Amino acid sequence: MTDATEADLTGGTPRPRPEGEVEKIGDRKLKPATMMMGHGYDPMLSEGALKPPIFLTSTFVFPNAAAGKRHFEGVTGKRPGGAEGLVYSRFNGPNQEILEDRLAVWEEAEDALAFSSGMSAIATLFLSMVKPGDTIVHSGPLYAATETLISRILGRFGVNWLDFPAGATREEIDAVLSKAATGNVALIYLESPANPTNALVDVEAVAASRDAIFTGDTKPPIAIDNTFLGPLWAQPLKQGADIVVYSLTKYAGGHSDLVAGGVLGSKAHINTIRLMRNTIGTICDPNTAWMLLRSLETLELRMSRAGENAAKVCEFLASHPKVEKVGYLGFLDRGEDKRQADIYRRHCTGAGSTFSLYLKGGEKEAFAFLDALKIAKLAVSLGGTETLASHPAGMTHLSVAEERKQALGITDNLVRISIGVEDADDLIADFENALKAV
């Protein structure tokens, strides 16, 4: 939370943290899973409530006029860092600020912001960083709505873009960034693993290339969508990224019952993005923030179980005669793509639970498989407690041009699967039965 968020509710003196905040026991630094139970919240400021109440209010009372002026200096950007207390629910709120504190803990980020959706987080990031004539360099493929936002919407306002494939080498990245450097590169935007192919981006190579080609004020920040693996299996800030983006709808929310987004990074970058969020009002609502606080308490448990299930399910699918291949990160060490395997070893601590399944055939076979599922639900999204399956070419990436889909490997026989926390053997039985329909 920003300074004095809860203190302001009682007219108290601003302070950076609730009294009794525990981050270490002796010399032991507490793990994120432990800190999710109380970090950023003092029950004594809310009638002793063990869990934060939902603060359903549009505005907040200032203790005095000078405090109101001070808060608005932060809100309007006259002073960096945002408001030092609560002002108005378009800018901040207790639930959102506790959530932001806890999001930052997972990746040891300096600061974080919560948004009304993953796409509102991405859109606010772009709007805060680019202006007409600027260039965005990005990896490909990206989530279809992100590609649409860059090429079709920002493109209408004079923003240019260049891209390189997700698995690009340092030399390939150098070539694209060098070409882009003839103009003003405002942002390097990555997505790893790529949606829906599961291809990994070498964040370290991108950072090294950026640092070699750009200097001083011309050096663009590197932002990365970490939804598929973060925060448990990948932490890109450690590989050189400056900003991490999340669809909190997915693993962070984890129950397919909310929509939200998050951005983490340095205070300097977050301050820039916060000013745009304050202006256009893309903050998430208090109830969603409260639900996310609940979900973060079980994030490690849910992701671990889903990851274990995915490993078992993928072992079954990989040997099935009707399966062409399984794009599962845990199989990279077995394949011929040594570069992807190397990125995985350097960047990831787990293979995740979302993968690409390529059936032998095309759309007809993919649809037959999807329609025959009993336990797995035919729905888009990922990272929930339930197993989900969808057809990217005909659903989430339908708006992507056909030639680009083919170039990026988004084929008609591709099914994207997100494994949940059900019994793994039950899921295997469901997939085995569905494959009979192919």
Q: What is the pLDDT of residues 140-156, one digit of tens each?
A: 989 989 999 999 999 99
CA dist., res. 126 & res. 91, Å (int):
19
Q: Using CA atoms in the order 76, 130, 110, 96, what is the torsion angle rounded to 10 degrees?
A: 60
The band of 10, judged by pLDDT with boundaries at 50, 70 and 90, is very low
What the block records as the tokens of 138 is 């990005």
Q: What is the pLDDT of residues 238-266, one digit of tens each?
A: 999 999 999 999 999 999 999 999 999 99
What the block records as the tokens of 386 is 């339930």
> 435 with 322: CB under 8 angstroms?
yes
Q: What is the pLDDT of residues 259-310, one digit of tens each?
A: 999 999 999 999 999 999 999 999 999 999 999 999 999 999 999 999 999 9
Q: What is the pLDDT of residue 9?
A: 39
Indicate whether 1 pLDDT > 60.
no
What the block records as the tokens of 296 is 């973060």
Distance (Å) of CA 138 to CA 168, 176, 214, 410: 11, 10, 16, 18
Per the prediction, the chain carries an average pLDDT of 93
The band of 11, judged by pLDDT with boundaries at 50, 70 and 90, is very low
Q: What is the pLDDT of residue 336?
A: 84
Q: What is the mean pLDDT of residues 374-403?
A: 92
Q: What is the pLDDT of residue 4?
A: 40
Type of residue at 83: A
Q: What is the pLDDT of residues 29-54, one digit of tens each?
A: 999 999 999 999 999 989 999 999 99
The band of 396, judged by pLDDT with boundaries at 50, 70 and 90, is confident
CA dist., res. 388 & res. 254, Å (int):
12
Single out the residue of 325, 390, 326 nearest to residue 352, CA to CA.
326
Higher pLDDT, 89 or 12: 89
DSSP 90-137: TT--HHHHHHHHHHHHHHT-SEEEEESSHHHHHHHHHHHH--TT-EEE
**pTM of model > 0.85:** yes
DSSP-derived pairing of the beta strands 28-29 and 24-25: antiparallel
Q: What is the pLDDT of residues 82-129, one digit of tens each?
A: 888 999 999 999 999 999 999 999 999 999 999 999 999 999 999 999
CA dist., res. 34 & res. 257, Å (int):
24
Domains annotated for the chain, with CATH where assigned, are 110-285 (3.40.640.10), 299-435 (3.90.1150.10)
Type of residue at 346: R
Q: What is the pLDDT of residue 19?
A: 60
The answer for residues whose C-beta is within 8 angstroms of residue 304's C-beta and 6 or more apart is: 232
